[in-house]
A and B are shown apart, each in its own frame.
Chain A
Amino acid sequence: MSKPGHEILHLSNVSRHFSGLKALSDVSLSVNKGEVVGLIGPNGAGKTTLVNTICGVTPASSGVVTFDGRDITRIKTYQSARLGLSRTFQIVQPFAEFSALDNVAAAALFSQPGESLKSAREAARVHLAFVGLDAQANQSAATLTLAMRKRLELAKALAMKPKLLFLDEVNAGLNSAEVERATKLIHQLAADGITIVMIEHLMKVVLNVCTRIAVLHNGKLIADGAPRDIIKDPAVVDAYLGQQYAQRNAARG
């Protein structure tokens, strides 16, 4: 399925359990350079756990994760960040007392070796402008609206010069205009060649942006393939999309 050499992330038989609870079981998945992979599934399916496992927040109980040809199964979070794995959080995690600028500067400063505070702040301005927060650069993160904080998360993740970017529900809690704006940003990033894995509940966005979709249910990967196939997959319809969605979709052709 995936051409070797182009593969950037590979999970083989990754499991993670929290004492009795099996949050991920035997997940095997690979992501190629330049892909935009949508990770969907019902609440509690293990989507965020999967991202946490890859980033070293909750290391895999068994299985192997390789990134860029390197075994990162037991890596520390800060090390994965320096390797070029960056993410946004579903529940935004700003440095609340810092200005928006310093939030992004922190990401540039600590992820790039040898970066100085001054050059990190300069880099931060570019990323803030990209997500459209340049006017709020000196405002403290605590005073930003949710939509702005989501974009701040994105700017922070970009300041880390990611090779692989995880977007964990960047659109949750946003109104439709804001969603449209965020989707445009994601398109732009994909066009720039950044590999993206996004967790998303809005199917409209997933189908609009993703080149491939992986579906998690009860910690198991139940489907993985092209978007048009996935939305017709009976297992996915059963577990997540629902009959109504499938019928509506079929009616639309």
Chain B
Amino acid sequence: MTRTNIALLVLITCVAALPLFGDAYALRLGTMACMYAIFALSWNIVGGFAGYPSFATAAFFGLGAYTTGILMNKGVPLTLSLLGSLVLCLLLAAALGAVLLRLRGHYFAIASLSLVEVFRELVNNATDLTGGGMGLNIPLVSGSSVLSDATFFFYAMWGLLLITALVVIAVSMSKLGFGLNCIRQNETASNMVGLNSTLYKAIAFGLSACFVGAAGGLYAAWVHYIDPSDVFDILYSVKPIVMALMGGLGSPLGVVCGAFVYLGLEEVVWRNYIQIHSGVLGVLIILLLLFLPHGLVSLHAGKIWRGLTGRKAKHV
């Protein structure tokens, strides 16, 4: 295993200690951080490894949320419902991926974006099943105290993040990861050396959707109420891309750092600039991308050190 992958697992393990120090607010933030990290890691499979910029995160987040919501309303326990979300998103995304991933570049981006709209409209119109625009109430899971509820969902989301990270690391070291890397660099050559690129892309799209779907399910159970405009929010598609760009495209450690930094920025900006928060956040993101185009992982400790000592030498 490479050093950065070990660093990633260490980072995730550190996050697990949060409940020892935090209150309910910190736990809520921690749960969001884990969810964002799941988004970013998942997006990275298809966007970072295979090089297909997907805007479908929100589609599978919403689909997962509604699947779990509906199953739990029918009396299915949480774990099974989440599994249902995961499997449904995996299979549906793999099937859709085999078709959509024949498009490249901008065309694929727009097609994946339209998935969000299609799923939202489907959910909006299937009123009997989903409650349509009225939204869907989801039964409480633990329901004891606020803090124990928060701790439960924090650990559930954290566990899902850990599984996602392990799968992504496994993919990055496997023949699948190697093949996706080939596809990103040169798809013509990939086919020519005997790589079944359609199959690989479909698997990648399935994997990038399934954990997002499960996270959606967990989110639904956590907030107890979902409606289409909330879970099919296009921002859920855009944020993972920003996180991945901020952290460093293609690197699992990078995108998780990107997710945490993004959430931190979002919180700080939201608190201090309540009127103009999206504007400030936008400017910050543009500045980061301009001055750190390869993301946070491109900041090597050694380079910073050399930069500092070099500057010192000039002054002396």
Contact = CB atoms under 8 A, between A and B. Distances in A.
Interface of A: 55, 57, 76-79, 81-82, 86-87, 89, 93-98, 102, 106-107, 109-112, 116-117, 156, 160
A109 B175 CA distance: 8
B193 A110 contact: yes
A68 B193 CA distance: 19
A93 B175 CA distance: 20
A28 to B, nearest CB: 25
A78 B186 contact: no
Given A106-B190, A111-B193, A156-B193, 12 more contacts: A81-B192, A89-B192, A93-B192, A95-B181, A95-B186, A96-B186, A106-B182, A106-B193, A109-B178, A110-B179, A110-B194, A160-B193
A95 B194 CA distance: 14
Contact of B175 (A96, A117, A156): A117
A79 B194 CA distance: 6
Interface in B146-199: 175, 178-179, 181-182, 185-186, 188-197
A80 to B, nearest CB: 8
Contacts of A94: 186, 189
Interface string B236-265: 000000000000000000000000000000
Contacts of B179: 106, 110
B194 A78 contact: yes
A93 B178 CA distance: 17
Nearest to A93: B189
Interface in B195-212: 195-197
6 contacts: A78-B194, A93-B186, A97-B181, A98-B185, A106-B182, A111-B194
Given A77-B192, A96-B186, A97-B185, A117 B178 contact: yes
Nearest to A87: B192
7 tightest Cβ-Cβ pairs between the two chains A and B: A81-B194, A111-B194, A93-B189, A110-B195, A77-B191, A107-B193, A95-B185
A55 B194 CA distance: 11
Nearest to A88: B192
Nearest to B173: A117
A76 B192 CA distance: 10
Contact of A55 (B189, B192, B195): B192
Contacts of B181: 95, 97-98
Contacts of B193: 81, 86, 106-107, 110-111, 156, 160
B192 to A, nearest CB: 6
A106 B189 CA distance: 10
Interface of B: 175, 178-179, 181-182, 185-186, 188-197
Contacts of A107: 193-194
Contacts of A117: 175, 178
A107 B191 CA distance: 10
Contacts of B195: 78, 106, 110
A164 to B, nearest CB: 14
Contacts of B191: 57, 76-78, 81
A95 B196 CA distance: 16
B192 A95 contact: no
Contacts of B189: 89, 93-95, 156
B174 to A, nearest CB: 8
B185 A78 contact: no
A193 to B, nearest CB: 21
B185 A160 contact: no
Nearest to A107: B193
Nearest to A105: B178
Q: Which of B181, B182, B194 gathers the greatest number of chain A CB atoms within 10 Å?
A: B194
A109 B188 CA distance: 16
A76 to B, nearest CB: 8
Contacts of B194: 78-79, 81-82, 107, 110-112, 160
Contacts of A79: 194
A78 B175 contact: no
A93 B193 CA distance: 11
B185 A96 contact: yes
Nearest to A115: B175
Given A78-B197, A93-B186, A98-B185, A106 B192 contact: no
B179 to A, nearest CB: 7
Nearest to B188: A93
Contacts of A77: 191-192
A87 B175 CA distance: 23
Nearest to B250: A97
A148 B188 CA distance: 20
Q: Which of A81, A87, A110 has the most CB of B within 10 A?
A: A110
Nearest to A159: B193
Contacts of A111: 193-194
Most chain A C-beta atoms within 10 Å of own C-beta, residue among B179, B185, B196, B197: B185
B257 to A, nearest CB: 22
Contacts of B190: 106, 110
A68 to B, nearest CB: 16
Given A77-B191, A78-B191, A95 B197 contact: no
A79 B193 CA distance: 9
A57 B189 CA distance: 11
Nearest to B185: A95
